[in-house]
Structure 1
Amino acid sequence: MNIFSWLNDQLLKMKWLWNLVELLVEKVFKLSMETRVGGSIHFFIYDTIKIFILLSVMIFIISFIQSYFPPERTKKIIGRFKGLKGNIFGALLGTVTPFCSCSSIPIFIGFVSAGLPLGATFSFLISSPMIDLASLMLLMSFFGTKVGTVYVAVGLVVAVIGGVLINRLRMEKYVESYVWGVENVDIEIEELTRKDRIEFAKSQVKEIVGRVWPYILIGVGIGAGIHNWVPQSIIEKVLGEGNPFSVLIATFIGIPIYADIFGTIPIAEALIAKGVGIGTVISFMMGVTTLSIPSLVMLSKVVKPKLLATFVAIVTLGIIIVGYGLNGLSFLLI
């Protein structure tokens, strides 16, 4: 247990980095960690470096594994599963694809045009931006193993149930007709060498980090501001457990924001430090990553208004239920 605790502190929580940045702030910048400016600078530098290190390592590992499952092979695998199994596999597939909500939609179109069950493709569309293995490691490093595991578990439940409901409602006719007509050609799968897979993993790190770095910096900046400058009394009044509408407020604040989960984690860290309930924070994160306005605009070009409204209603209701449920069980998580 002592070895595990040490590894958790040094590899995930990176206490060595915390101490190093503390020395930088106090010895080089000549600022006290107790001041707002010193605390903000420490928060920004520490969280930024930590997120980029963990993100790069996890994307490399996930992308290396993902190289064994190109889209053509994935479509064939999903096509073997029907009903609930298809929804579960679609949701699980989303966890190994580090895409934002907008990036998931072209893959969603490919799955639908290939004739895969609509419910399974929606399970993928929900889980892909909401949860992935990289976010699991980041969540565990910031909030602990329990919170990270629960976030992924409830995200999978929302994705599976959402896909099942859409499948039961028989909403295929509400997919735009051109999607069904998209040419779908099975390409012979080329076997990659180990060197090819490593190069692919490197390119994915470069591409994904290159895409999300502005959101990470913005998220860390907002988190530093909340953590050191916004009075706790204001945060507790708006999003604290004493406000019965806190989960609703957090969910609907999150929906208009477009960011990857990596940019929301430092904001979540600051909110929890200010006394916001874990369920409220998770609802905010899920709202940001799954129901952003840009992704809904893109999806509106693929599905008709009734299916789009159904998708939004199901996911929003699921996020709200998760938020209130986890607030009620927060004593088990923190």
Structure 2
Amino acid sequence: MAGGFQAGTAGAKDTSYASSYFDDDVRRVFDLAVAATRPVPEQPSAKPSKQGAPSQTPKPSGSAKPSAPLAPGTDGRDPRLKAIEDFWTPERMAQAKPVKEQEEREARIPRPSEAPSSQGVAPRSPSHEFAGIAQVGTFFYQTDENYRFCAGTVVPSPGKNIIASAGHCFDSTDRKTNMIFVPQHNEKNPFPHGKFAIKVGGIFMDAKYLQPDGDHKYTVTPQAETWKHAVEIGSGDYTGNDGWDLIVRWSDGEVTNYADFDGSSTWREHKWYASNELLTHAVLVTGGDFSDNPYADDTIIRWTDGELSLYTDGDEKGLGKQNPLVVPAK
């Protein structure tokens, strides 16, 4: 499910939007999306500090990462979202290919010109174009190599801003950019109801559903005897599914990433590194967002010799690129 586009105002209570077709897993993802897209209520003004106490929390020295939001445009909209919507011209939409999994399936379907004349082609029901409906539309997004598209359906929700899609539309390792949803898209009228950019962090998926190869994959919970060998535990968003991954470094140097860990009995294991001597010298490990992209997919490691290393843009395969922060004197 995707949320985070502006398409209306809040309605009645959340429970009035629960579909009888939602099973427990879908309802859980729906509730997660609703909670994340609900406006945050204004907080009451802080109480005055006690006399003699500092009025502000002390801040560490050094330059801080800029955090000031961009000023809204004249229409009140976030200019970053408007830029995404403007990016998708009718020409770019026409160049988009089906989502990779669908493209591979379609490539395996025999065409009349490819079938042997003696066998013929299995008959198919005739198809007819129709104007479509406003509740069903198309996701467009950009990957490293292509423009892609996949279908989505608007789901009634309190904020009127949630769309359901097929599980194969977005997998847990993709870093999709310039993503929009276009209701009732068609070639003759590419965006009859407008274009709606999806905010970063606006995709919600059942963490136990999809793997990069499209298979359902589960791992059993590591037993207590195994956890005796865990020497360091951290977290971050390395698989790009807007869920927190659990990083475990074991006593023999092996490092494991448990993707999208949600405290349940489902553990999706990615073995980052097999046992090795180098990583036994890691003393402290912490994950976070220390680079330019919007994901908490970076890691800082302090080593036994005092070296401090920053690894940026980690993914399901490993820590990413190493950047020395502090080098010990020789």
Q: If the length of structure 2 is used for normalisation, what is the TM-score?
A: 0.26
Structure ID, larger Rg: 2
Is the strand fraction higher in 1 or 2? 2
